[in-house]
Chains A and B, each alone.
Chain A
Amino acid sequence: MKKTLKHCESYQEHSKQFQELGEYLDSLQIDQRNPRRKDTLIMTLHRAQMIFGYLPEEVQLFIADRYGISHADVSGVISFYNFFTVTPKGKIQVNVCLGTACYVNGADQILAEFERILEIKAGQVSADGKFSIESLRCVGACGLAPVVTINSKVYGKVKVSQVREIIERFLTEDLEVEEVSHA
């Protein structure tokens, strides 16, 4: 049975987000007869992930529909690129850089410490949806190796012994700042 968008519960639940994505797609003026129209697909997926936090099936169908391409075309692109995710990430996203410069400066031990304290592995989300950990490939801030980013905040020259403090500080100070600035 072919799924249509209006049957999806989440479509109604998230109508505001879909509207925002729709407006972005409008601005691209996609001509469904143009064989080159997919050149903006990756840009659109970035935008959609920014709006929804991840790329669930409903969003993929919505995008496929607007481009006039198959769902397989969209999901094939999503599955190829590391940046895109089809499952939600944690509210607090810990990213540990595992580029070479960070690695030779002990980034693997930093990652292990985050995994130990938060009790999840890289690529997982905690049961309450609060934390997720990912490993990154070089953010290009090698002067600060090893580097950890938590949401948009960057921590440089991190030591294993500081990991707990970094998490606690983020929870008590930075998260409030973020919530205020996003309000």
Chain B
Amino acid sequence: MLEITSPIQLLDAYEETKSLLDLRSGKRGGPQERMILVCGGTGCQASESKQIVHEFKRLIKENGMDERISASISGCFGFCEKGPIIKIYPENVFYVSVKVADVPEIFDSHILNGEKVRRLLYEDPKLKQKIESADDISFYKLQQRVALRNCGLINPEKIEEYLATGGYQSLAKVVGGMSPKEVIEEMKKSGLRGRGGAGFSTGRKWEYASKSTSEEKFIICNADEGDPGAFMDRSIMEGDSHSVLEGMAIAGYAIGATQGYVYIRAEYPLAVSRLQIAIDQARAAGLLGKNILGSGFNFDISIRLGAGAFVCGEETALIHSLQGLRGEPGTKPPFPAESGLWGKPTSVNNVETLANVPVVYQKGADWFSSIGTETSKGTKVFALAGKINNVGLVEVPMGTTLREIIYDIGGGIKGGAKFKAAQTGGPSGGCIPEQYLDTPIDYESLSAIGSMMGSGGMIIMSDQDCMVNLARFYLEFIVEESCGRCAPCRIGNKRMFEILTNITEGRGTAMDLHELRSLAETIMDTSLCGLGQTAPNPVLSTMKYFMAEYEAHVFEKHCPAGTCQKLMHYEIIAEKCIGCTSCARGCPVGCISGSVKQVHLIDQARCIKCGACLSRCKFAAVSRN
């Protein structure tokens, strides 16, 4: 069992383990040596990636090649669209959409005979060419992986592989030779800001918490990633849990805390189990617990599960939930840095923020602050999803433009449709229309155009998506997730949701548009916590940029994108109808008339726009517009 009780032993462990990664970094590798990495993230595991590893291991064993060839899971490669993904080192060959049944072919052809399996290679959609090496894929070319540095490179369930990347050496440097004050100064100098959304300076947050003289303080890792469409934190915890633990321990040293908690959503069972494995390993190795690395610093970490409440991502609500209470937010100030968990000073930091922390001390604040823009330093991970070709996780330097993310990395809009908007910041954020595609992304620029950085969810919408319906979707979410403590959020959002429902169902009036806006402003000004204060953002930003769509719904009773069911208009095309009666028989309200071999007719006054006739007609004789 690995036991590390001093910085020297940590360096020894690094020397011992670093060769583990040689094959992966191309430093070593005979013609017969291979390392097969299979993505073990939630998405790929759902597509049977576990069985793929199992099958590889079976074949390796059968062929008696255990010594030269190994197969293992890794963290998320980020390119979820093409999962399950496998990588073969040292060539760095990247196979996509691999099925269990493909494994024998890969093994025979690639591993035994050195012939790549061309049909499983990634094909560049623009060049129509198969690409052999992961380095040449446009999805990866513009990315700079800092927070995700180890995701997809190491086996997340083995502490040795994290040590081989130089892991825990930042902690050693901090506890061994820096005062808490120096640690905080370095963090302030790096310019790292909270990656959970609000973007508060991490160094200043630590400074506030460190100033209190309380004997007991806490570090909380906020892993309650609740924004629908966001999965950055999940991937970090699944792919590189140790970096989060190391970040927490450094934060603990900086503010003078001895206990840390990871508050994580129960919807992420895989991340919970990987975190627990990492905590157990770090504890067993002596990197968590008493007298870490012989420095006299004590720090331990426990996991606490959430239970499906979006508002618990708000720090005061999270603290209540951690105390075993209803997860309702409290008033600020006092801020948690002053009075948090059980009334003690507490620093609540997001997963991605913490994963960045060890890098700041490993490479230095100057290196870190050289990346990014004037006000926003470092990189940001985005979860690209929606109507985009390359769904997945991307990490780019701050200041990258939306256009680069969507078209160069994301490969453009699915099915060649036209871009309409990018939604960032989840239910608290807004929609960014086409005219701002060239905005360099940072905290300030996004809020200037009515959206926000948020935790990093980025949903791409095409001209087939209705923006009014999208606003309604987010309001429905907020209504369900509002804790009900304050009236503006509980009642106001419900009224906004009702108005939006009326508009999407063709009952909207000009007065509704006026009321939406005034409600939105009131809710923003008077809600207790961040959830309510930002809830109207999706409505206000869609009204700002897509007012014509709202007006079409209200005045013309027409949905330009063709998604609002109730505003659809069904008609039978006389030339195509053969009179089979199928539609008339399927109509739930019996509003279609016509007998056998006669052209049928829909009674528009009685039609409930259910679309049953359209799906039943085999002759494409029903039109919808």
Which residues of A are interface residues toward B (Cβ below 8 A)? 36-43, 45-46, 76-77, 80-84, 98-101, 103-105, 136-145, 147, 154, 156
Contact = CB atoms under 8 A, between A and B. Distances in A.
Given A46-B266, A154-B46, A81 B229 contact: no
Contacts of A139: 42, 267
Contact of B43 (A37, A82, A105, A143): A143
B81 interface: yes
Interface string B321-362: 111111110000000000000100000000000000000000
A9 to B, nearest CB: 28
Given A100-B229, A104-B459, A46 B307 contact: yes
Contacts, number: 131
Given A100-B228, A136-B267, A141-B42, 18 more contacts: A39-B323, A45-B307, A81-B308, A81-B327, A82-B307, A99-B228, A100-B229, A100-B426, A100-B474, A101-B229, A101-B386, A101-B391, A137-B308, A138-B230, A140-B230, A142-B80, A142-B391, A143-B391
Interface string B211-241: 0000000000000011111110010000000
B423 interface: yes
A43 B305 contact: yes
Contact of A100 (B43, B266, B385, B391): B385
A38 B325 CA distance: 8
Q: Pick from A39, A136, A143, A147 the residue with the most CB of B within 10 Å.
A: A143
B304 interface: yes
A101 B387 CA distance: 8
A77 B391 CA distance: 36
Contacts of B304: 39, 42-43
Nearest to A47: B305
Nearest to A153: B46
Given A138-B228, A143-B392, A39 B324 contact: yes
A101 B43 contact: no
Nearest to A141: B43
A104 B461 contact: yes
Interface residue tally of chain B, by bracket? Answer: 35 or more
A13 to B, nearest CB: 27
A84 B266 CA distance: 11
6 contacts: A38-B324, A41-B324, A81-B309, A141-B43, A144-B47, A145-B391
Interface of B: 42-43, 46-47, 80-81, 83, 225-231, 234, 266-268, 304-310, 321-328, 342, 383, 385-387, 391-392, 423, 426, 457, 459, 461, 465, 470, 473-474, 477, 483
A139 B474 CA distance: 17
Contact of B322 (A39, A143, A156): A39
Contact of B473 (A43, A82, A103, A143): A103
B340 to A, nearest CB: 13
Nearest to A101: B385
Contacts of A40: 324
B571 to A, nearest CB: 22
A149 to B, nearest CB: 8
A104 B459 CA distance: 9
Contacts of B80: 141-144
Contact of A80 (B231, B326, B473): B326
Contacts of A145: 385, 391
B416 to A, nearest CB: 16
Given A36-B323, A144-B80, A83 B266 contact: yes
B539 to A, nearest CB: 15
Contacts of B43: 140-144, 156
Contacts of B385: 100-101, 142-143, 145
Contacts of A37: 324
A99 B229 contact: yes
Q: Pick from B227, B387, B391 the residue with the most CB of A within 10 Å.
A: B391
A46 B308 contact: no
A99 B231 CA distance: 11
A81 B308 CA distance: 6
Contacts of A105: 386-387
